[in-house]
Amino acid sequence: MHPRLRIFAMFAVLTLIFTAIGWLLGGYFLGDWILGSLLFLILAGAMNFVSYFWAHKIVLWSYHARIVTEAEQPRLYRIVQQAAQFTGLPMPKVAIVPLQTPNAFATGRNPKTAVVAATEGILTLLNDRELTGVLAHEMAHVKDRDILVMSVTATVAGAIAFMARMFTWNMMFGGQRRNSNGSDLLIAIAVAVTAPIAALLVQLAISRSRESKADLVGAQNFGDPNALADALEKLEYANKRRPFQQGNPASASLFIVNPFRGSTFFALFATHPPIEQRIKKLRAMAQDLRYGKPMPAIHPS
């Protein structure tokens, strides 16, 4: 699907979710279902506009990422530059995230505004070969325009989850109307539970296929699939041992491996394919390359 169509479809689905929440909350708090729907429809439109133009800046701000120069981070800058050359794209901006959990992501509205960010921890954990594999993966996201889709989804889905949590707290601490009844409580539970799940399902539909494709495209461009496979093994182990303690789990789809760890229930809504599956595909690609077989064709989506 063309990136612009993916963005339109995502905005449409998230707007419907937002409007549905407004319909429920309008009836619950205002006694007017239509007014609640209209207010949240306007709010969704404003949020879509802001997220389209500034989602990447919001993501960078939320993780305290700092744009760095070549003089400040020569190793990271050089490897990002190599990865950009592999994909035939202009050099993106480079950012450092001040976290020791090793991970990386790309964000931006298009290749001209792209930013590739790496945590401090990944620079310590990976060698140059493995880090190049990771950053080639991120540049594959940039080339396929995934960065806008994933940044906007993370921003809007995070807002939906936040509003659902606010509603839950309001219910717990006096937000309930005096004449409320059992049906009102059921509505409250439905909003609190289904809103974040709906947001995660949207991310699931977008992210899993994108991650698999970026693995293969990045490995193909770099020419060393085992480099990314080795990196993924290290990153998965390190992120399980030291998951993120800050940030919104709705942004998990941005990162090369999931930096958040939750319950088994939330694992059902994982934004990444199983790490074993990703590594297996990369090892198979490396094996084919070793025996002179052509790289698999990567179908456009």
pLDDT tens across 34-56, in order?
Answer: 888 898 899 888 888 888 888 88
The model carries a pTM of 0.81
pLDDT in tens, 240-277: 999 998 777 778 888 999 998 754 445 545 678 889 99
Q: Which residue has the higher pLDDT, 71 or 157?
A: 71
Reading the block at residue 217, the tokens are 């495209």
Asked whether the beta carbons of 58 and 155 are under 8 A apart, the reply is yes
- Residue 66, exposed/middle/buried by CB under 10 A (0-12, 13-18, 19+)? middle
Tell me, what amino acid is at 51? S
pLDDT of residue 270: 65
What's the average model confidence in pLDDT over 153-166? 71
pLDDT in tens, 278-293: 999 999 999 988 877 7
pLDDT of residue 178: 46
What's the average model confidence in pLDDT over 169-174? 62
Residue 169 clears pLDDT 80, i.e. is over it: no
CA 121 vs CA 40, 41, 82, 117, 129: distances in Å? 40, 41, 21, 12, 16
Spell out the domain ranges in the chain: 3-290
CA distance 104 to 138: 8
- Residues tagged active-site: 138
- Give CA angle at 244 (238, 245), nearest 5°: 135
